[in-house]
Amino acid sequence: MAATYAQTYAAACADPESFWLSAAEHLDWGTKPTTAIDETRAPIYGWYPDGILNISYNALDRHVLAGRGASTALIYDSAVLGIKQRFSYSELLAEVAHFAGALRAHGVKQGDRVLIYLPMIPQAHIAMLACARLGAIHSVVFGGFAPKELSARIDDATPAAIITASGGIEPTRRIEYLPAIEEAMNQATHKVPTVIVAHREGFAHERTEYSESSATWHDWEQLVATAQPADAVPVAATHPLYILYTSGTTGAPKGVVRDTGGYAVAMDYSMRNIYGVGPGATMLTASDVGWVVGHSYIVYGPLIAGATTVLYEGKPVGTPDAGAFWRLIDEHNIDVFFTAPTALRAIRKADPQADLLAEHNTGSLKALFVAGERLDPDTYAWARDALGVPVIDNWWQTETGWPIASNPVGLELMECKAGSPTVPVPGYQVEILDSFGEPLPAGAEGNIVIKLPLPPGTLATLWGNDERFIATYLEAFPGYYTTGDSGYLDQDGYLFVMGRTDDVINVSGHRLSTGAMEQILGAHRAVAECAVIGVVDELKGQRPSGYVVLKSGASSDEETLSRELIAMVRKHIGPVADFREVRIVEALPKTRSGKILRKTMRQIADGKPYVVPSTIEDSSVIDDLLPFLRPQGT
């Protein structure tokens, strides 16, 4: 490997204290930290324990004070509405300061939680940065989640306010948000006192008062019109910035806590060294603000870097066609583009020869980054050949907040290898261990773990539950963070991520628990037992496939029952689950101890070699399942 990356990575491993104190120098601090790593609560570590700052100030005020107020901070491009809007750094700062003042006037203060349920509109940026300005802790919930999921997050975070909008707009429909908010609040035990609604035209539910709700409902514009702008509140670097719940977890929601100082440093460092983005550059991240990619690289990262960020309300295909992304690159002179392999596969399916690319000038583009699930070699080659720029896979998690492995363009552009996100990023000491915690040699697949402490910007803990944080991530391999993924490092130090080691599946970049879906299916009156597995899908990465065994005497009308079960999953988890397939079977394969052999089922469904475990209770069940798992006899 080239010296620049190798030397930087070695320095971060050898002396993380000095390395990350030096990285912190790029930010504006109220009180500069003199210590980087706080080890007093190990294995839970903190970053910059004596530092004080405000991340909203670092994203906005400091650029204005440096004379860059007229530079474009945010471009809103709504393909579904045909709207384009630009905000300079000065204009965005004014919007954020006034909305922070409105929140403060309604009792929101440092340490309070604020739940944000917004579509891809500028108010999402403004709300998040306004909360950070006050030292309030925001929790953004993706607009595709059903009221039940929303209510669980309300009860866990106990927010002082909810910020929402009339609804979200899809290419073929409008999604009403206010009835979902009302239902979620009525289901929740915690009573939210304040709801703020950003008005959007064309929605049926426009009321801002609900008689059945104990909350007071307010109109965003009316509040801002009378609000006094709020200054940035200095907070400890260890103060929580946000809570982000991982998707589809069973039981109590699992709220990843991100700190303020460590995250600010990580965003600044990653923008410069991974993405090569700084003042004057324009970055488009085609994700959603409800996901971790949106938090880091639509909102905080580009603005901390002093760059222009593009907020895109639309789809890769259908708004209006498979050339949507190429139009964005052309019109906004995008330097760095970040999307998911799912989006690229959808574009390729609709326009396999990339004919629509010829209609646009994409010469400004320097690199295409992808994350969310594994970038398959075919899609990688297609995008690389079509665009003529480096196509760079990132591998990371909601928990880490920024890439674990990538091609560090800002440090040094390295050779890409199809199927690999390249190399561990400086700060992440990645190792491969066997099930006994012993290191594995290059090329041997095992558990991907990261030596503690994790670098700044990663999860500080789980909201309200240090014990669960330790049990979930730190106990399996003491001294290491367990990623839950398996893979290997090759002879050149390139990482290859092969898949999950648990039953969390990846649908279009959204991590969803099959256990949560099974719990819903099992609640149906006719279902005796069930299994949900993630099946390889060419477009989405994985798709959930359900298999149910009926209770004795239950109706076997498969079409009707399937519709009911699919509707149940969509109601309780939301359309994000993309749950469309249920099959009624006579039995599920199990071990003698009663464990369902989901891994074997996945292997069969994916057409992979499989070995029936010797512990199976009845091997004939596998034979009976083959037509269901491989309906075309493949």
Which pLDDT band holds residue 47 (cuts at 50, 70, 90)? Answer: very high
Of the ranges 125-139, 163-177, 371-385, 505-519, the best mean pLDDT one: 125-139
Which pLDDT band holds residue 511 (cuts at 50, 70, 90)? Answer: low
Which of the 8 DSSP states describes residue 59?
I
In the prediction, which pLDDT does 498 show?
77
Residue where the block lists tokens 């923008």: 271
Can you say whether the dihedral through the CA atoms of 22, 25, 27, 31 is positive or negative? Answer: positive
What torsion do the CA atoms of 93, 99, 103, 108 make, to the nearest 10 degrees?
Answer: -20
Which pLDDT band holds residue 477 (cuts at 50, 70, 90)? Answer: very high
Amino acid, res. 65: L
Distance CA 440, CA 449 (A): 12
C-beta separation of 568 from 523 below 8 A = yes
* pLDDT mean over 308-312: 98
Parse the chain into domains and list their residue ranges.
3-314+394-462, 504-629
In the prediction, which pLDDT does 514 show?
76
End-to-end Cα distance, the chain:
42
Least confident span in 38-47, 94-103, 260-269, 588-597: 588-597
The answer to whether residue 280 scores a pLDDT higher than 70 is: yes
Over residues 553-607, the pLDDT tens digits come to 777 678 889 999 999 998 888 887 788 899 999 888 876 545 678 888 988 988 8
CA-based radius of gyration for the chain: 24
CATH 2.30.29.30 describes domain 504-629: no
Same fold, 3-314+394-462 and 504-629: no
Mean of the per-residue pLDDT values of the chain: 91
Distance CA 231, CA 229 (A): 7
439 pairs with which residues across the strands? 433
Distance CA 255, CA 292 (A): 12
In the prediction, which pLDDT does 247 show?
55
* pLDDT mean over 65-75: 98
**Total length of the chain:** 634
Per CATH, which fold does 3-314+394-462 belong to? Answer: Rossmann fold (3.40.50)
In the prediction, which pLDDT does 634 show?
47
Structural tokens at position 291: 């996901």
Over residues 345-399, the pLDDT tens digits come to 889 888 888 999 999 999 999 999 999 877 878 789 999 999 999 999 999 999 9
In the prediction, which pLDDT does 609 show?
86
Structural tokens at position 172: 């073929």
C-beta separation of 519 from 527 below 8 A = no
Q: Which is more confident, 337 or 543?
A: 337
C-beta separation of 372 from 342 below 8 A = yes
pTM to 2 decimal places: 0.84
Structural tokens at position 514: 């099959």
C-beta separation of 589 from 625 below 8 A = yes
27 pairs with which residues across the strands? none
In the prediction, which pLDDT does 2 show?
52
Which pLDDT band holds residue 253 (cuts at 50, 70, 90)? Answer: confident
**Residue 23, helix vs strand vs coil:** helix
